[in-house]
Amino acid sequence: MSSSSLLADLIEALRCLPGVGAKTAQRMAFHVLERDRAGARRLAEQLLLAVERIGNCTRCRTFSEETVCATCASQARDRSLLCVVETAIDQLAIEQATGFRGQYFVLLGRLSPLDGIGPAELGLDMLANRLAEGEVQELIVATNPTVEGEATAHMLAQLAQAAKVRASRLAHGVPLGGELEFIDRGTLAHAFGGRQTL
């Protein structure tokens, strides 16, 4: 088979997606060219529209087509509760799984000095200003239980303390329906250390 630079470029472009390696990108490229050119056109159009029209909310930093997202603009949301998440997908997960009716602040990452991600990149100055407004009564820290997530949580707790805002952290531990023998040691140790009175 002769090599096409357009095909090679398409395969390489598909590799920008998370979890897509060389073989998966190759399968995707061949699939859209062999079986679904209309789908590929639709995908290309939607990607272009999304990249051009979706930005970040000026209040919470989540993805939005408007300057202020629908969640921040809603009068039905409890403005005294502010949940801080690492990514917009974490916000979506909380929205879909819980009845949370407060507001959000999306960090768009987590502290990672080795990757050049510090407080400025996470918008912590914006968050500090929001806490200083006095409307937020509780800051719910919903960062991931990773080393970087825990470091980020610690910094968020300090911000809340400086603003005299109550800070709480999502519970971590044994998942519902989980069996102790199959839980990793770190999770089990964390759950055991955070046990509660019945």
**E strand residue ranges, 88-165:** 102-106, 138-142
Lowest mean pLDDT among 78-87, 133-142, 174-183: 174-183
Residue that is written with structure tokens 């971590």 in the block: 172
| Rounded Cα gap, residues 130 and 68, in angstroms | 14
- Reduced to 3 states (helix: H, G, I; strand: E, B; else coil), residue 68 is coil
Mean pLDDT across 13-31: 96
**φ/ψ (deg, to 5) at 68:** -120, 125
- Reduced to 3 states (helix: H, G, I; strand: E, B; else coil), residue 22 is helix
Whether the pTM exceeds 0.95: the reply is: no
pLDDT of residue 4: 77
Q: The tokens of 2 are what? A: 């002769």
**Which domains does the chain possess?**
5-53 (1.10.8.420), 78-169 (3.40.1360.10)
Which residues, including other chains, have CB under 8 Å from residue 4's CB and lie 6 or more apart? none
